[in-house]
């Protein structure tokens, strides 16, 4: 029996309401949108039915004030959910049109979705439907192997299709340079009590439908204990050196690191980064690869610039990913549709 907070991952496309109104079909597609990834698994989105249109909104009550003071990662997460929504609508042959940030007076509305009678067949999007329910963030080690050039080009094309630049660190020397920045960012962040308190609040046992496992911070030694012990350890002690070592090892040992960047650094750019991220993640899943995040250097302005320099990026780094093959990764919990669909 599937736990209630994981039931969202078992959605059956055969239950799609083919004879319903377009807005009701869109509501069903929202069930796939909420399977997108988000920082600390905060799921910072709301979907609002406004007559015969659907509004995709940022839920800033779920923001991370320490690591994401300008809501950059929050908007990226909303972009990933928006991409899933596009894929689901394309798969179910629901014609749609999307306008991003349609209300200059309300930046919380990241997209307005309307439903014309006819529309183009978006086969390239529909082909990414199946990976939506298979994608999972894999925080474990990856197999040391060569990733073929053809696979890397597919990932590059996926990001580029949404206007996002993808740079790759493939050689050990390149990965070591990036891994050193990840470790330095970990040490700096864990030296800040505000960071530790914020992180601990998202690994708290009271969170049943969101939040993260302790293993996301390389704390494998503690996962056999009760979750409150883990949260207390993160909140109370500066464990930055241990976390830095764990994440540096993951970065060095991953066959491929991917840095996603955009020319700009504002709401529109962040939403674009989320769209490109999710297209890349679904593409990676479709060809048998797992992914996880090492965004720590991007969350610190000085190290964000250093990361751009090391990978010759002229724009603004938005996300740092590891790509490879590993053991099975469990899905993260999800809030119910009733909590996110108004």
Task: Convert the pLDDT of each residue in 285-295 to its tens digit.
Answer: 999 999 999 99
Q: Residue 252: its pLDDT value, please?
A: 83
Distance between CA atoms of residues 89 and 32, nearest Å: 10
Contact present, 295 and 185 (Cβ < 8 Å): no
Asked if residue 93 is part of any domain, the answer here is yes
Asked if residue 303 is part of any domain, the answer here is yes
Contact present, 45 and 77 (Cβ < 8 Å): yes
Claim to verify: residue 133 and residue 261 sit in the same structural domain: no
Residue pLDDT, tens place only, 127-181: 999 999 999 999 889 998 999 999 999 999 999 999 999 999 999 999 999 999 9
Which 8-state DSSP code applies to residue 162? T
User: H-helix or E-strand containing 129?
Assistant: helix 129-132
Claim to verify: residue 249 and residue 308 sit in the same structural domain: yes
Count of domains observed in the chain: 2
Q: What whole-number percentage of the chain has pLDDT above 90?
A: 74
- Average pLDDT of the segment spanning 26-55: 96
Contact present, 268 and 111 (Cβ < 8 Å): no
Of 13-22, 131-140, 149-158, 226-235, the range with the lowest mean pLDDT is 226-235
Contact present, 293 and 182 (Cβ < 8 Å): no
Which residues are registered as beta bridge partners of 168?
258
Asked if residue 116 is part of any domain, the answer here is yes
In the sheet that holds 316-324, the strands lie side by side as 165-169, 256-262, 316-324, 290-293
Instruction: Tell me the CATH number at 123.
Output: 3.40.109.30
Distance between CA atoms of residues 153 and 258, nearest Å: 12
Claim to verify: residue 49 and residue 175 sit in the same structural domain: no
Claim to verify: residue 17 and residue 101 sit in the same structural domain: yes
- Average pLDDT of the segment spanning 75-98: 97
pLDDT at 259 over 60: yes
Q: Residue 285: its pLDDT value, please?
A: 97
Contact present, 249 and 180 (Cβ < 8 Å): no
User: H-helix or E-strand containing 33?
Assistant: helix 22-33
The whole domain housing 243 covers 149-191+238-324
Claim to verify: residue 317 and residue 173 sit in the same structural domain: yes
pLDDT at 215 over 70: no
Claim to verify: residue 28 and residue 165 sit in the same structural domain: no
Which is nearest to 185 in space by CA: 195, 175, 198?
195
Claim to verify: residue 105 and residue 157 sit in the same structural domain: no
Asked if residue 223 is part of any domain, the answer here is no
Distance between CA atoms of residues 314 and 259, nearest Å: 12
Which residues are registered as beta bridge partners of 54?
49, 113
- Average pLDDT of the segment spanning 87-106: 94
User: H-helix or E-strand containing 207?
Assistant: none
Claim to verify: residue 97 and residue 246 sit in the same structural domain: no
Asked if residue 244 is part of any domain, the answer here is yes
Claim to verify: residue 273 and residue 336 sit in the same structural domain: no
Asked if residue 213 is part of any domain, the answer here is no
Instruction: Tell me the CATH number at 310.
Output: 3.40.109.10
Asked if residue 81 is part of any domain, the answer here is yes
User: H-helix or E-strand containing 233?
Assistant: helix 227-236
> What is the secondary structure of 90-103 as a DSSP string?
HHTT---EEEES--
Which is nearest to 208 in space by CA: 82, 38, 315, 336?
336
Claim to verify: residue 52 and residue 163 sit in the same structural domain: no
| CA distances from residue 256 to 1, 35, 217, 247, 281 in whole angstroms, order as listed | 36, 24, 20, 14, 14
Claim to verify: residue 91 and residue 179 sit in the same structural domain: no
Claim to verify: residue 85 and residue 179 sit in the same structural domain: no
Pairing of strands 290-293, 165-169: unpaired
Where b means 16+ CB within 10 Å and e means fewer, 51-79 reads eebbbbbbbeebbbebbbeebbbbbbbbb
Which 8-state DSSP code applies to residue 14? G
Which is nearest to 283 in space by CA: 170, 130, 94?
130
Asked if residue 212 is part of any domain, the answer here is no
pLDDT at 11 over 80: yes
Contact present, 314 and 249 (Cβ < 8 Å): no
Residue pLDDT, tens place only, 265-308: 999 999 999 999 999 999 999 999 999 999 999 999 999 999 99
């Amino acid at each position: 029996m599937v736990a209630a907070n994981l039931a969202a991952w078992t959605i059956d496309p055969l239950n799609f309401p083919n004879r319903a109104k377009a807005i009701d079909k869109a509501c069903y597609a929202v069930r796939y949108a909420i399977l997108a990834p988000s920082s600390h698994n905060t799921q910072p989105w709301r979907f609002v039915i406004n007559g015969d249109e659907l509004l995709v909104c940022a839920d800033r009550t779920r923001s991370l004030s320490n690591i994401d003071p300008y809501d950059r990662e929050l908007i990226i997460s909303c972009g990933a959910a928006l991409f899933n929504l596009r894929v689901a609508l394309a798969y179910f042959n629901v014609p749609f049109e999307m306008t991003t940030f349609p209300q200059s007076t309300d930046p919380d509305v990241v997209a307005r979705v309307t439903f014309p009678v006819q529309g183009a067949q978006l086969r390239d999007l529909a082909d990414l439907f199946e990976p939506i329910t298979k994608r999972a963030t894999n925080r474990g080690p990856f197999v040391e192997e060569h990733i073929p050039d053809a696979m890397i080009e597919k990932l590059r094309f996926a990001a580029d299709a949404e206007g996002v630049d993808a740079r790759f660190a493939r050689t050990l020397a390149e990965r070591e340079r990036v891994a050193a920045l990840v470790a330095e960012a970990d040490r700096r962040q864990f030296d800040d009590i505000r960071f530790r308190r914020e992180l601990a609040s998202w690994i708290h046992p009271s969170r049943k439908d969101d939040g993260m496992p302790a293993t996301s911070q390389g704390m494998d030694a503690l996962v056999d204990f009760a979750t409150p012990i883990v949260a207390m350890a993160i909140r109370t002690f500066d464990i930055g050196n241990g976390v830095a070592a764990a994440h540096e090892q993951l970065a060095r040992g991953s066959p491929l690191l991917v840095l996603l960047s955009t020319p700009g650094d504002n709401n529109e750019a962040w939403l674009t980064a989320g769209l490109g991220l999710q297209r890349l993640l679904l593409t990676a899943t479709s060809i048998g690869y797992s992914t996880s995040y090492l965004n720590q250097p991007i969350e610190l302005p000085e190290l964000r610039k250093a990361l751009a320099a090391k990978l010759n990026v002229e724009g603004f780094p938005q996300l740092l990913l590891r790509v490879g093959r590993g053991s099975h990764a469990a899905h993260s919990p999800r809030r119910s549709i009733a909590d996110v669909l108004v």
